[in-house]
Amino acid sequence: MDPQPSGSTVVPPSGLPSPCHQDRVPSPDSQMDVQGYKWVRWRVWLCHLATVLSLGLLLIVFHWRPRLGVRARCSSCPLAVAHILLVKDICGQHHVVEVLTEEMEDGSLELLGDVDVAEWRDTVQLYKEEKTLLRYYLFEGLRYIWLDKKGAFCRVSVLSEDWTSKDLYGFQKGLSHQEQCLRRRIYGPNLIDVPVKPYLKLLFEEILNPFYVFQLFSITLWLIDEYYFYAICILILSVLSISVSLYETRKQSVILHNMAQLVTTVTVRRSSGEEYVNSAELVPGDCIIIPLEGLLLPCDAALLAGECLVNESMLTGESVPVLKTPLPGGEEKYNSETERRHTLFCGTQLIQAKGGGPGGGGAVAVVTSTGFFTAKGNLVSSIMYPQPINFRFYQDTIKFLLILGFVAFIGTIYNFVILFRANVTWLQLVIRSLDVVTIAVPAALPAAITTGTIYAQQRLKKVGVFCISPPRINVCGKVSLFCFDKTGTLTEEGLDVWGVMEGGPTGFSELVPEPRSLAPGPMLSGLACCHTVTLLRGQPIGDPLELKMFESTDWTHHEPEGDGEVLDAEFGGHKVLAVMRPPAQGTSKSEAVAIVRRFPFSSALQRMSVVSVAPGGEPALAFIKGSPEMVASLCQEETVPAQFSSKLRTFSSEGLRVLALAYKPLNENTDLRTIKREEVEKDMQFMGFLMMKNLVKPESASVINMLKLANLRSVMVTGDNILTAINVARTCGMVGINENVIFVNATPHTTRSMPTLKFKMQDEVATAAESSTEIITAGACGYHFAINGKSFAALCDHFPEYLPKVLMRATVYARMTPDQKTQLVKELQKLNYRVGMCGDGANDCGALRAADAGVSLSEAEASIASPFTSKTENISCVPLLIREGRCSLVTSFSLFRFMALYSLIQFCSVLILNTIKTSLGDLQFLFFDIFLVTLLAVVMGKGGPSEQLHPRRPAASLLALPVLGSLLIHTCLIILGQLAALFITTSQDWYSPLNSTVFGVANLPNAEDTSVFALSGFQYILMTVVVTKGYPHKKPLYYNVTFLCLLILLFSLMTWLVLYPGPFACRILKLYNISDMNYKMLLVAVAALNFLVCFVVEVLIDLGILNCFRLLRGRRQSKKEYKRLHASLSVSPSWPPLGQTLLPSDHTVIHLS
């Protein structure tokens, strides 16, 4: 936890923390709140006594609410002396952790170096104890250590977060054994330890689940009430359920444990020499030697020498190996995210390493993070401790259980009065009253509503869509906006070279379709060597774009063999990484080019560069390749053709992927081994454009059109040029042919100018005299905003009041960095959009995880880069996922209402029968609960999704008027049906009154019970038909053949039990033998009428008959911000303010409420 000054404890002159009673230390990063407590002996003993007196009930309460246990047994105290910590995480959940201590040797902290000593000298030495103690705690796998100077527990990674590149290079000599031992005590073992709990502990935790505690309470009641058979059956089912749950939980723990834990042997450089150590002993600062054949990396490390080819598919889902190059030296602070191309991540497979060790093989790296602080540890932690999904459906489920609890309370009071008047024993009075609670509150409700999600997950898996977070399937049903990456998502992954156009101070030359036909010169050499393509077993491998570019030159790729001395000598003694040779045949007079330095592509920098030499070592040339705007900004102004912008606009508007190349000769005195990237990438000479054709996938347009018809917004978020992105947006249908595109140009604050914001038409036909209304209505269907990454950053920083309005109309986001993609998703969520994101998983990991429904297009069966992974290489999985999400959500609603009605039907039956001094029999309860309700609940969710996406999304609130109104009306009709059956029975000539001297099951069999049993049995079956929804989000009921067959079977069974039960069924179920067939047919008719009325009422509710009640409260604005904003923008003629320059303090444009 990284503290902020405002929440830290003030250190008095004595060096001790201030004696405050409670320290709250919030962290700006993790948003955690930590409070300190220490044990109070008399409170502990008092709790022990209370536990004994309550027969262990107090411990169960403390297990459910650990915070209460801490406050009952402890007193608050400063964090510096706390034994126990109460941690409140970002989601508001409380966790109890114990403060641990470890004894350190005196003077050992001096070995941490000058920077660390200042923090540590008086940090771990508390209250002048003779022993030097390290105080820390573990939370979600992360280690937090006490820093007395900051008055807070901080993540142990704080000790290494200020390391610079220069510091990392300083570790190349290796740590001493004493330094390494000290660091291991502080940082802990390098393990991502996923605990696999023993079955006994899992059993203890499972049976203390509120659901099973309630089940145990219910079973105890039933046994006392002599419902032996029913209680034993439910007990057996509960044992089976617990057994399956324990098996699945432990199985998942073992799988995750095996996936997360990585222990291997690595070669570490010590001050005394190299040695082999167990990877669990690695600490930040260790210098590791990577062998030529590579290894599975057990930590995060910065690459210092050599190059590594790495498969990062486990982290990103990206199957193409990535070339990692040495970290540039300098005083800049090291950050693993910004230096991804120089960082080796834990859990990734290093395929080969070269150029960093003796003999030309292997590489050298320094450990930067271990354990849960690594990239893999962070992802494993997100699986072990997922953030609660903020979805209204799940929140309303708990609220509705409380409503049913209140209904049960009313029923208990009513039952108590009835039983008291019947003069039953006090034991029966208590048992029967509490029994109503077990009937009215369906403890299985939360489990039952997940059935639809399970079926949806199985259907998705069959079509190649894998899910690691099943609750998010329901969230997909409410998605209102979907973001798409461009390259590899909307367009084909592979690119074809379309042509090359050289340019210089005099302008551009003619287009050359085939780069291989270029005349020898810098352009041809740049195309051949400005890339990170490498060889793996003799085959070139790398980014598909760079492979196409290199192959178009017909040059060949060679890499050093052995120690590489032969190639080094050929190229003037420089350390050669790779050699590109022109084709031997033909008239080409080009010379071979050797790459001696690589600065790989960075999304944030939008470029990559290389340093090359010719045979003999001269001349040394630097080449750069990247986005045209970025490359031009790094070139000498006089070398950039005047037609640069117009040519770029022309090619980009045609949908071509345009890259610019530049070069410059390097001074012969330059040390190529230590030259910095900043020195290479400046004062370049512009060479020209490389155009590549990136075709839109054939499925993209149809999917976008399908989403548009369903009123789902589609947004493109790409790192490509804005004009190329607009062309692709028009091609795939995001932007209509007749729709206008307005550029949003925002500039940041500089020393020479204020931030500005402008809105400009794409074709620049708008003039200041034309109003926004005239321009916007010129297109048949309105307008779209297009914005690039720089303008988006300036908009967020300087024009936050305009940001929501821009987000409402922006369809194309270009030149966006990975961090900006994540920020965009979060900003859209602030407008109450449910945001989906579809990308290839490489540069989109952050956005995929931030989105409500992130879909990674990857060959991996399950990528932890996003909740959903699709093996389909196009976006056709998106409407499928939304359809399954809507189907699952509708099914969950149906199951919820059925389980609620099941409880209410049985609740009404019991109260009605108790009123007349009788009750349902033991096996009658069993027949209803097991053979009717359980079977129906299991199969009613099997129906698949509708083939089409409907424009209206399904509801997500269980406490909405249609849902609560429907349940209330159906409950009234259910009561009327059961009372009708009872009154019809008592009016028959053959009816004989009950024995008023006995109560409950002692009165069985009797006609009253049999009539209520018959009608309620039909109600269970027929209510599943009433609440099962089909159109428009789910296939009609008859498509669910299993459910339909079960309905027919159970209806036939129930009809047989009413009309022709026979002596055996009457004896087993304790039914009254009635010979009057007309009466029995009348009962079936009452059940049919009850069903018909309920069905008609449900249809009328679906048509909106209850909406008339909303008219009484008047029209209200939508609770969703984007809907309110849309309504405001629709009636705003002056938005957007075309042709105006807005400043941060400019209020000339109306602000929408």
Q: Known catalytic residues?
A: 485
Q: CA 1057, 1060, 1066 angle in degrees (round to 5)?
A: 60
- Provide the H-helix boundaries in 122-273: 165-170, 177-187, 199-207, 210-224, 228-260
Q: What tokens does 1139 get?
A: 């042709």
Q: Is the peptide bond before 583 cis (omega within 30 degrees of 0)?
A: no
H and E: helices and strands count for the chain = 39, 39
| Exposure of 590 in the CB half-sphere (CA atoms within 13 A) | 30
Q: Is the peptide bond before 1136 cis (omega within 30 degrees of 0)?
A: yes
Nearest Cα neighbor of 578 from 560, 590, 565, 563 is: 560
Q: How far are the Cα atoms of 703, 715, 864 from residue 697, in angstroms, in the given order?
A: 11, 16, 26
Nearest 5°: phi and psi at 975?
Answer: -60, -45
Tell me if 638 sits within 8 A of 685, measured CB to CB.
Answer: no
Burial class (CB in 10 A: 0-12, 13-18, 19+), 111: middle
Tell me if 757 sits within 8 A of 1142, measured CB to CB.
Answer: yes
Neighbours of 208 (CB within 10 A): 14
Q: Is the peptide bond before 619 cis (omega within 30 degrees of 0)?
A: yes
Report the Cα–Cα distance between both ends of the chain, in Å, rounded: 38
Tell me if 154 sits within 8 A of 1, measured CB to CB.
Answer: yes
Tell me if 685 sits within 8 A of 703, measured CB to CB.
Answer: no
- Taking the C-alpha atoms of 1119, 1121, 1124 and 1130 in order, what is their torsion angle to the nearest 10 degrees? -160
Q: What is the CA radius of gyration of the chain?
A: 36
* DSSP state for residue 955 in the 8-state scheme: P
The H or E element that residue 174 is part of is none
Tell me if 207 sits within 8 A of 242, measured CB to CB.
Answer: yes
Q: What tokens does 1054 get?
A: 């129930």
CA distance 109 to 119: 10
| Exposure of 204 in the CB half-sphere (CA atoms within 13 A) | 8
Tell me if 904 sits within 8 A of 967, measured CB to CB.
Answer: yes
Nearest Cα neighbor of 391 from 454, 447, 471 is: 471
Q: What tokens does 243 get?
A: 């057994």
